[in-house]
Amino acid sequence: MRPLVHPAIEDVQPEAILYALSDPRRAAIFARITKAGCVEACSAVSAVGDQVIPKSSLSSHFKVLREAGLIRSERHGVEMRNHSRCAEVEARFPGLLSAIMNAYAAQAR
C-alpha cells in the first residue's frame, strides 16, 4: 500500500482545488471536516445527504481532496483522521475557500 500523498502547500494548485470542490459530495465532505476540525474518514461519512456512497468511491473522494491539498489524512490505529488544511490554503489563496463554501451554502437556501 503506497503512502498517502500530501502536497506541500506551495505546490497546491487552484485547478485541483476547484476540481475537487466541483463535486457537491466532495464539497459536503470537506465542509463537514472543516466544521468538525477532524472527521474519522469513510465510515463516519458513509452517506452525503440521503445518498449512500460505496466505500471505494468514498476512498477515492478522500484521495482527490487529499491530493488537492484540502485535507490531511493520518492513520490512528485502524481508522483514519482527516483534518482540514483550510488555514494553510487560506494563507495561500485568500478568500477562496470561504467564497466557495458560501456559494454552496447560498445555493442550499
Partner DNA sequence: TCCCATAGTTCGGGATTTCGGAACTATGGA
Partner DNA sequence: TCCATAGTTCCGAAATCCCGAACTATGGGA
Can you give the binding site for DNA, defined by CB under 7 A?
1-2, 4, 23, 40-44, 53-60, 62-63, 73, 75, 77-80
- Tell me: does residue 22 bind a copy of itself (CB under 8 A): yes
- Tell me: does residue 70 bind a copy of itself (CB under 8 A): no
Picking from 36, 92, 32, the residue whose alpha carbon sits closest to that of residue 61 is 32
Specify the residue, 12 or 66, whose C-beta has the smaller distance to DNA.
66
Torsion angles phi and psi, residue 28, rounded to 5: -65, -40
**Rounded (10°) angle between helices 55-67 and 14-21:** 150
- Binds a copy of itself (CB under 8 A): choice among 1, 2, 8, 15: 15
Residues 6+ apart with CB under 8 A from 105: none
Three cell numbers written together for 102: 458560501
* Residues forming the site for a copy of itself (CB under 8 A): 13-19, 21-24, 27, 92-96, 98-100, 102-104, 106-107
